[in-house]
Every structure is written in structure tokens, then in C-alpha cells.
Structure 1
Amino acid sequence: MARDLALRAAASVSGAPVERIRLEHLPSGQPVLAGAAAGLRISVSHVESRSGRPGVAAVAISKDVAVGVDAEVVRRLNAVALSTKWFSWQETQWISSLDPDLHDRAFLMLWTRKEALGKAFGDGLRSGGMRRPVLGGVLEPNPELQQLTPEMSLATPVFDTVVVTIAAQCDSGRVTVHRH
């Protein structure tokens, strides 16, 4: 599902037929486009189907800036306890300050922000990625890229059952979301 979506998205952005595009991976696992879409920047996230729920795939592509994307299916978590293990004190306090019905979605929003930023920076969650601060910018679903740092912006489009964050190495812009 994710591979097919990535190839179709690359064909759409590049204008090349999908048969002339290849999706390869660096030794780190980072996806790269080859063939007629070489040079485009790509990030892919996928969640396998579980418990009868369909899987989810998300792809971010750019002609000229580094991008990262992460997607997580909204599910019941022990969000506050998990945040004390993985997040900063400030991030845990932010989650705890919300209505308990929002804890799981808030945890997943911070998690996807960290993952998407790590992918855009090219280091994933290695090198302290879980300690990367992500509380800046708009902390609500928003398809507009909001500047988090001087070199990176984030967008979180609105979906009912999935939290998706897109990171782009730029200061502003709009994310176009295609749902399939």
C-alpha cells in the first residue's frame, strides 16, 4: 500500500509514468526516488492493519526541500505514563493539562512531530530525536505549515482516526493532502 502510494505520488509530482520510477532505500532505511523521479525528496510512513482496522499510508514529496512524514492510528494508550518515559517534562505537563479524552491524540501528535522531524533531518529518532522539542507552533490540527524552528516547519492535517504530521525544511507554505 505505501509503496504504491509513494510511486503514484512521485509520478504525479514528476509528470513521469509510474513505470519509469523506482523507490529504493539507503542503508539507513530512508526511502529515495530513482529513475524518472530522481532528485525528488520523499518520506513514507505506514501503519499495518490491526484488530480489523485498515492500514494507513502517508507520503510527503518535495521538489526542493527535505520532508518527513509520520502517521499513527489513534488508539487507547496510557498517554501520560508513556510521555513520562519518552518526552520532556514540559511535553508531559502539556499532555496532562488537557482533557483526559485528548491525552491519546496529544501524545500521538507529539510522537508524529518527533518522527516527521527526524525523517526530514535525516536521522530519524537516533541522535536524541525523542528529546527534540516539538511544543512550538500551532498545537492543533492544521494543514498550513507552521514554523517550529528557523529551518523547519510542521503541518498536521485533520483526520478522524489518524494523526499525521508533515515536516518540511522551509519557513511556511501549504500542504496538499490527497486521500485515497
Structure 2
Amino acid sequence: MSAARVWIVDLGLSPDRLHRCDAVLDGAERLRADRFLRPADRARFVASHAALRTVLADVLGLPPAEVEITAGPGGKPELASAARGAWQFNLSHSGARAVIGIARDMPIGVDVEAVRPIVDALRIARAHFAADEVSALSRASRSTVERAFFGLWTRKEAVVKALGSGLSLPLDRFSVTVPPEAPRLLRAVGDGSWTLDGPWSLADLDCGADHLATVAVRSAAVAITSHRLSDDWPEHLG
């Protein structure tokens, strides 16, 4: 059976540890980081990308600063080294958490969302999601609709990110189950430019009560394991 691994990362770092993270990023990552207007957003970007380098460095047997990452087709990040294609990965961060997924020879996507008040969840769903998803979401109680909405959102985004198609994949052309039902791809209507044909595996991730997250892997027989980076992981960046 194939395997996919997911790491959950706490992004609340001290200034000293954040400085260590910044030191392992490449020039393109630093340019992106400097575009953030809010210091908190910049800090989360720097920490999450350094964590990604930590995970990839362990797999490749390289120092984190020497991991080469480039943009692949559709803009999805991929390894630029000889490991290109053999290892596939994905990163998502929101609020105080980052999620990193890595798999060998299988497309993988992850998404995490900080749960927050949202007064127009159904209106947003009607504008962007499939009709069967909207119908299921409308049956959620007032006390659970926010978590159901964000859980649904992470499931759809994880599939899109695994596919690597970005905004070219309309969110209303495929549907997934809505929490609290177990995550599963229900249907998809391709248009020639993309397809979701073939087996998929989706799993919820435990990122704490204030965050919801999903991993999607384009494979049926896959063992998905979840890990957490140790609290002192930036101390090992060198």
C-alpha cells in the first residue's frame, strides 16, 4: 500500500526562531514574504515555508536551505532537483496552523482553515459550491453551520490543490461530502481541460478545535499518517 504523510505545524514562533526560519528561505520566498503588509501574515508565511523545507530536507537528505523548489504546471510548487515527480507535496496555512502533505508518485493536496464567524455561509456556498453540497449545508444547525462550511471548504480546496489546476477548476463542477459525514469525493463533471477520474482518498486532520483541515490523495490504496513537528523544530534549522 502506498503512503502519504501529513505534518501539522504550530506557527506561533518567537522572534529568534522566526529569524532562523527566514535564514533558510530562498530569494523568491523572501520576495513573496516581503509583499505582506501585516507583520503577522509575513511571519506565518516565513514559518510555514521553513517548516516545509524542514520536512522535505528530511526526505531528501539535504539541509533545509538547499532544497530547491520551483513552480510546476498550473503554478503548483514542486521539487526542482532530481527528485522532481518522485516526491509530491503541498502546503497550506491559516491562522496559527500550517499543514504539509508529502507523497511518493501520487498527487497530494492539503488545506487548513481557521474557524471564524461567518454570517453568510449559505450565500457564499450558493455562489461557489455544487447544488448537492449547498443542500447538505442548508440542513446544518445554526450552531454547526460554520464548522460544516469550513470543513466543506477544506475538502474542496484539498482536491483542487492535489489536481494542481488552481482557479481553472470550477468549485461547482464537483462535489464532496459535507461534515459531519466522512470526507469523500461524490461526483465530478469534467470539461476536457481537467478531470477527477480515478480513485481518490480524503481524510480529515486534527489541527485543534479552532482549525479544520483535509488531505486529498489521488489514489485509492493509500495509508495516510499524521504527525506534528516538535515545538523546537526551528532550533534544528542550522
**TM score, norm. by length of structure 2:** 0.63
Alignment equivalent of 1:148, drawn from 161, 166, 185? 185
Give 1:36 deviation, angstroms. 6.8
Give 1:64 deviation, angstroms. 2.0
* Matched residue, 1:25: 71
Give per-residue Cα distances to partners, 1:107-161, cap 9 Å, x unaligned. Answer: 111111111101111212423234311128xx4487xxx6636421111112211
**TM score, norm. by length of structure 1:** 0.81
* Matched residue, 2:121: 79
* Matched residue, 1:51: none
Structure 1 position 60 matched with structure 2 position 101: yes
Q: Secondary structure at the match of 2:91?
A: strand
* Matched residue, 1:2: 48
Q: Specify which structure has the higher proportion of helix.
A: 2
* Matched residue, 1:40: 87
Question: Where in structure 2 are there 5+ consecutive unaligned residues?
Answer: 1-46, 187-197, 232-238
Structure 1 position 107 matched with structure 2 position 144: no
Give per-residue Cα distances to partners, 1:63-86, cap 9 Å, x unaligned. Answer: 221100111110111212211211
Alignment equivalent of 1:178, drawn from 225, 228, 233? 228
Cα 1:36–1:27 shift into 2, 3 Å: closer
Asked if 2 retains the 8 angstrom alpha-carbon contact of 1:43 and 1:61, the reply is yes
Asked if 2 retains the 8 angstrom alpha-carbon contact of 1:22 and 1:33, the reply is yes
Cα RMSD, aligned residues only: 2.4
Identity of aligned residues (%): 29
Asked if 2 retains the 8 angstrom alpha-carbon contact of 1:141 and 1:155, the reply is no
Q: How many residues align?
A: 169
Asked if 2 retains the 8 angstrom alpha-carbon contact of 1:152 and 1:168, the reply is yes
Question: Where in structure 1 are there 5+ consecutive unaligned residues?
Answer: 48-53
* Matched residue, 1:133: 175
Structure 2 counterpart of 1:24, one-letter code: T
